[in-house]
């Protein structure tokens, strides 16, 4: 098991290192930005997600083949692949739920090259209706009266992320998203 985890870390670091090199070569200080500009991008993403708008959420990413989205399941290597995956997994506002970001650290990796990093946590709260009885605490974070004709189930998904931002003509955009 530790061999598999070690290999996964090595593969993700290799992608991360390659993307940083490409970002440094491609995005010099020609497109400067501030760390507070990153806050604006993240806020716009939250607004898009919470309004059920994947396209607005995806505006926060670099729109070319240098973008990487790394999870424990797969590395996605294009903006379109990431977008299609989100739209398939979250086909509507209800499925998307309510997203929150907790920004633990926003820092420059190389300010002269326009490369920064955000480390944080994410949480999605999904609420759905069911006509099935809700028993115990299986996915239900809120008590539901037993005589209620409509049962509500609330699921909370959460994890961590590390985002690498680069300067672009549109402002800072996510070049590498490592989410787990």
Q: Which two tokens stand for residue 29?
A: 């200080």
Residue 128: its pLDDT value, please? 83
Structural domain count of the chain: 1
**Token pair 């290597």 is at which residue?**
77
Rounded to an integer, what distance in angstroms lies between the CA atom of residue 78 and that of residue 92? 22
Residue 23: its pLDDT value, please? 47
pTM comes to: 0.76
Residue 9 belongs to domain spanning: 2-179
Residue 139: its pLDDT value, please? 46
CATH number where 99 lies: 3.10.450.50
Residue by residue, pLDDT tens for the chain (180 residues) are 555 545 445 555 565 556 555 544 554 458 999 999 999 999 999 999 999 999 999 999 999 999 999 999 999 999 999 999 999 999 999 999 999 999 999 999 999 999 999 999 999 999 988 777 665 544 445 555 555 566 888 999 999 999 999 999 999 999 999 999
Residue 97 burial class via C-beta count within 10 angstroms: exposed 0-12, middle 13-18, buried 19 and up: buried
- Smallest CA-to-CA distance from 176 within 167, 165, 37 is with 165
Spell 36-52 as b/e; 16+ CB within 10 A means b: eebeebbeebbebbbeb
């Amino acid at each position: 098991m530790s061999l598999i985890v070690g290999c996964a870390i090595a593969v993700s670091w290799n992608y991360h290192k390659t993307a940083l090199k490409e970002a440094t070569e491609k995005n010099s200080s020609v497109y400067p930005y501030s760390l507070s500009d990153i806050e604006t991008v993240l806020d716009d993403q939250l607004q898009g997600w919470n309004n059920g708008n994947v396209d607005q959420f995806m505006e926060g990413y670099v729109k070319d083949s240098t973008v990487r989205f790394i999870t424990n399941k797969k590395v996605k290597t294009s903006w379109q692949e990431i977008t299609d995956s989100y739209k398939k997994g979250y086909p509507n506002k209800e499925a998307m739920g309510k997203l929150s970001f907790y920004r633990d650290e926003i820092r420059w990796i190389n300010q002269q090259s326009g490369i920064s990093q955000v480390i944080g946590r994410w949480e999605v709260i999904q609420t759905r209706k069911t006509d099935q009885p809700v028993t115990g605490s299986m996915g239900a974070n809120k008590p539901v009266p037993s005589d209620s004709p409509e049962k509500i189930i609330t699921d909370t998904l959460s994890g961590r992320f590390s985002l690498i931002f680069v300067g672009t003509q549109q402002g800072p955009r996510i070049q590498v998203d490592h989410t787990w």
